[in-house]
Amino acid sequence: MNDNDFRTVEAQLREQSAAYCAANHVPGFVAGVFHAGRQAVVAHGTANVVTGAPMREDTGFLIGSVTKVLTTTLVLQQVDRGVLDLDAPVVSYLPEFALNVPGAADKILVRHLISHTNGIDADLYFPDAKGRDALKAYVAGLADSCGVLFEPGEQLSYSNGGMIVAGRLLEVVTGLSFPELLQRDLYGPVGMKDSSTSAEQAILRGTAIGHFPDPETMEARPTGLFTLPDTWGPAGGTPIGTVADLLAFGRTHLAGGVSPSGARVLSAASVALMQQVSYDMRTPNVPPMGMGWVRYPFGDVTVLAMSGASPGGVSLLCVVPEHDLVFAAYGNTPGAIMLHDQLLQWLLREHLGVPIPRLVTEMRQDVDLTPYAGTYRSDQLRIDVSIVDGQLEERTTYEPADGAQERIFTAFAGGAVSAPPQRYVPIRPGLFAPAGYPLEAFDGYLRLLLVSYHDIREGRARFRNGGGRLTRRV
């Protein structure tokens, strides 16, 4: 690749970002690409509509669930050092770990925490604790508040709870708080020089805030919540970084665990283990899971990825080992995920020449819908599925356990506790697409919009999977 080719990449990022932000009420966006030794970062718009501060190439932002790959890396570092065993029960290191189903926690292994196969039903559990004992308080609360969705290793469900328990496990075996460990063992060695772990640190430098579209005007309004509670740190509640920092982390995984500065951060074996398939549900809407990384197939090329929602913002980190490429981006409204997807697909198709086959080629009219109708539940979430006019109609409602949970969730979601009814049309038995979307919408990252149903018993599905998360029929 020559300099002209890379200047074309930089220009495309800049032009496409500016056009999308202007057309879709996104105040600000920042993105970067590393490819074959060259790196570029571009920024557009406003980081905060209240202050008018510009989005700059070095503006910080909440990285959200991208943190899960960092947490997994920290766990594998302790495996490298002989401190942790992936096949040991979590309770052998963390005896206070329990769920409200007797004996359920005893079956969960360390590897289940970071491969999203643990079955902990705590996806929307938001205890509001601060400071050094926040993760300890989270784990203590699980015993009374949260149960299980499935037996460990039986299914795959995106797990905030698993990552938070992993963060507490790290604190116990290292003697450091999760923020201290993140700073010492990742930010420093990787060279993430502008990253931080709290709002108090972030305020000392330029940091973006999130925004939500006004329901009437669609204009962006600022979030009323900057970060989630400290209890959610290891799952993505509090870490803050820049695009350059995320590119450095991605490059470390490209280079077999060696950071851009030459520091050995993780063994090559552990880097490879994170990239291997840990569980595959064999459905297009749930890509195979590694450890930390989600393995998105784009034709014959695998993109290791993780996106990160924060209150009113969304980030994305992608690593493409076969092409020596890292892509990172952040937009300060939730709808910016559409731009992330467009840029990623442009990089694959136009820059790398990767053919991306159509994931969904047709809809079906002859699918029996009766196995899927019913009510599905997970922690504080209810999804009612009915048959209406030959389609599935879903009504999703958040049912908070208490006032604190409601306050945190509604602020995180921009004020809503329920979603408008959504119709779904069948692609094939057990797989559905939201009505009204063009088929090509699902070729890329937004395949997560598809919904699947699993484990049909006596003519009824036991599980629904949307966005990688399971709910269980009740």
Residues belonging to the chain: 474
Beta strands 451-457 and 431-434, pairing class: antiparallel
Q: Give all strands (DSSP E) within 142-201, no chain letters.
A: 147-148
Distance CA 208, CA 59 (A): 7
Integer Cα distance of 98 and 90 in angstroms: 10
- Mark 304-323 as b/e (b = at least 16 C-beta within 10 Å): bbbbbbbbbbbbbbbbbbeb
- In 60-175 the beta strands, taken as DSSP E runs, fall at 61-62, 120-121, 147-148
Whether the CB-CB separation of 200 and 247 falls below 8 Å is answered with no
Cα–Cα distance measured from residue 31 to residue 41, given in angstroms and rounded to the nearest whole number:
6
Diameter of the chain by CA atoms? Answer: 62
Q: Is 207 exposed, middle or buried (0-12, 13-18, 19+ CB in 10 A)?
A: buried
CA-CA distance, 298 to 286, in Å (whole number)? 13
Q: Which long-range contacts (CB under 8 A, 24 or more apart) does 293-300 make?
A: 293/69, 293/72, 293/319, 294/468, 296/445, 296/447, 298/348, 298/354, 298/356, 298/444, 299/354, 299/355, 299/356, 299/357, 300/354
How far does CA 127 lie from the centroid of its chain? 20
Cα 327 to Cα 103, 287, 340, 418, 449: the distances in Å are 42, 19, 9, 33, 22
Q: Which residues are catalytic?
A: 65
Amino acid at the residue 422: Q
What CA–CA distance (Å, rounded) separates 103 from 311? Answer: 35
